[in-house]
Chains A and B, each alone.
Chain A
Amino acid sequence: MSRLLRGAIVPLLLLGAWEIASRAGLAFDTLSRPSEILAALLSGLSDGSILIATAQTFNAALLGLAIAAVIGILVGTVLGLSPRLEGITGPSIEALRPIPAVAFMPLALMMFGFGIGLEASIVSYACVWPILIVTVSAVREIEPRLLDVADVMEMTFAEKLRKIILPAAFARINVGLRVGAGIALVVAVTTEVVLNPRGLGYSLILAQQSLDVALMYAQLLWLCVVGYLLNAALRALGGGSALAWRPAG
Chain B
Amino acid sequence: MSPRAITRLAALIFALALVLAWQILAELRLISPIFFPAPSRALSVLIARIADGSIWLSLAATVLRMIFGWLLACLVGIALGAAIASSRLARDLLEPTLEFLRPLPASAIIPVAILFLGLSNAMALAVIAFGAIWPVLLASVHGFSSVPDELRNVADVLGFSRARYLRIVALPAAAPDILSGVRVSLAIALILTVVTEMQASLAGLGWEIFYAQRVYRSADLYAGLIVLGAVGFAANQLLQQLERRALPWRHLTP
Contact = CB atoms under 8 A, between A and B. Distances in A.
Interface of A: 3-4, 6-11, 29-30, 84, 87-92, 94-96, 98-107, 109-111, 182, 185-186, 189-190, 193-195, 200-201, 204-205, 207-208, 213, 216-217, 220, 223-224, 227-228, 230-231, 241, 244-249
Contacts of A102: 191, 194-195, 198, 206
Contact of B188 (A87, A208, A248): A248
B235 to A, nearest CB: 8
Contact of B213 (A99, A109, A185, A244): A109
B198 A194 contact: yes
Contacts of A208: 111-112, 114-115
Given A105-B198, A194-B195, A244-B135, A99 B228 contact: yes
22 contacts: A7-B96, A10-B94, A87-B10, A91-B12, A98-B231, A99-B228, A106-B214, A107-B213, A109-B213, A200-B108, A201-B107, A201-B108, A207-B111, A220-B109, A224-B100, A228-B99, A231-B102, A244-B102, A247-B184, A247-B187, A248-B188, A249-B192
The 4 A-B pairs at the shortest CB distance, nearest first, are namely A98-B232, A227-B103, A7-B96, A106-B213
Given A100-B228, A194-B198, A111 B105 contact: no
Chain B contact surface mostly: helix
Given A248-B188, A248-B191, A103 B209 contact: yes
A117 B10 CA distance: 35
B92 interface: yes
Interface in B72-126: 89, 92-97, 99-112, 114-116
B7 interface: yes
A224 B98 CA distance: 11
